[in-house]
Amino acid sequence: MKKSIGDTIFPKGVTFENGLDMLKRGRYDGIELWLGGREWFQMSTTDAQLRELRRKIEDKGLKVSNISNTLDWQENVSSRDPSKREAAFRHIRRQIEAAQLFGTDAILIVAGLVTLDTPYNEVYHRTVESLKTLAKDAAAAKVKIGAENCCSEQKFLLSPREFGAFLKDVDSPWVGIHLDVGNIHDDGFAEQWIEMLGPHITRVHLKDVLRHRGRCGHQSVYTNIFLGDNDWRAIRDAFTKVGYDGWVIAEMERRYHYAPDQQIYDTAAGMDRVISGRL
């Protein structure tokens, strides 16, 4: 397995280059880039600027593990508003282009948002249809789309069986699941998701979770690796069981109040223990 972490972890005010130095110090293998996250990677960022970012990453001996986006929460493929849906298509297609520019083969999206006024069945059909369309772009670019399981936040695809049926309906080898082992809190057990969806996993997010507590942001249920209620031995064994040996990417939601760079190093150490199975 190779370890990576998102560029959104870089402490505020830190330059891209200095952030990369921190990853290097933490002995990461790669970086996850978030479209829409930090100033260096927005929809307005040009190809030439992205190539410059790639050069900086490679100069540090790192690779890009995958391209994610922060935009799906505002512009989703399941939106009723055609302009928002089109915007979602645009930024996902930009992710695919960026993946090619950075030499990686996976992107992360949040596909489908169920809300009070956009009911589940409507979201389901629209999301399947959208992904069937985007799968053609992905296939042409040889980049896999990983739909993340943000179960509780999306109110969508709440169980591994349901997620499996969804992927079957999309019916493309270019669309799978970007599995977040911390996002399964009120609704199941991460190791069972791994077992059931193993061959469809494109990338993995690692974080821990405090079950039945709070929500996002600073009230988050999410916490640092080993501080929550995830069964890390079972999770590691399940990855072995299904033969997943790809990128694992830390996604720390709640941040250290002091010494924010230390969270990068502490997370790296925890990931090393998960990867090596010394638990």
Partner 1 sequence: MMLPLAAGLAARPAAGLQIDAEPNCLSRESAEGFRSLGVAKHSRAILLCGVSAMDTAQAWRLRRQAAAGRWIVWESSPFAGEGQTRTLREVFGISTGTPIALSPDRLYVQYRWPAAALTRSFCAAIPVTCSEKEAIALYGKTPVALRRAIGRGGLIFLGSMLGPNLRAEDSQARSIGAGILLSGTA
The CB-of-237 to partner 1 minimum distance in angstroms stands at 5
CA 120 to each of CA 63, 83, 104, 140, 155: distance values in angstroms, whole numbers, following the listed order: 38, 20, 33, 30, 8
Q: How many residues bind partner 1 (CB under 8 A)?
A: 13
- Report d(CA 171, CA 266) in Å as an integer: 39
CB closer to partner 1, 203 vs 236: 236
* Other beta carbons less than 10 A from residue 217's beta carbon: 9
The CB-of-240 to partner 1 minimum distance in angstroms stands at 6
The CB-of-272 to partner 1 minimum distance in angstroms stands at 20
Q: Do the beta carbons of residue 31 and residue 67 sit within 8 Å?
A: no
Identify the CA nearest to 203 among candidates 234, 172, 248: 248
Q: Where are the alpha helices (DSSP H) in 40-148?
A: 47-59, 82-102, 120-141
CB closer to partner 1, 29 vs 237: 237
The CB-of-117 to partner 1 minimum distance in angstroms stands at 36
CA R_g for the chain: 18
The CB-of-1 to partner 1 minimum distance in angstroms stands at 16
Residues 171-230 binding partner 1 (CB under 8 A) are: 191, 195-196, 198-199
Q: Give the 3-state secondary structure of residue 31.
A: strand
CB closer to partner 1, 189 vs 265: 189
CB closer to partner 1, 62 vs 196: 196
Q: Give the 3-state secondary structure of residue 93.
A: helix
CB closer to partner 1, 53 vs 190: 190
Identify the DSSP state of 89.
Answer: H
To which H or E segment does residue 222 belong? strand 222-223
Binding status of residue 148 toward partner 1 by CB under 8 A: no
The greatest distance separating any two alpha carbons of the chain, rounded to the nearest whole angstrom, comes to 49
Pattern of binders to partner 1 over 226-265, x per CB under 8 A?
Answer: -----x-xx--xx-xxx-----------------------
The CB-of-183 to partner 1 minimum distance in angstroms stands at 20
CB closer to partner 1, 153 vs 231: 231
Binding site for partner 1 (CB under 8 A): 191, 195-196, 198-199, 231, 233-234, 237-238, 240-242
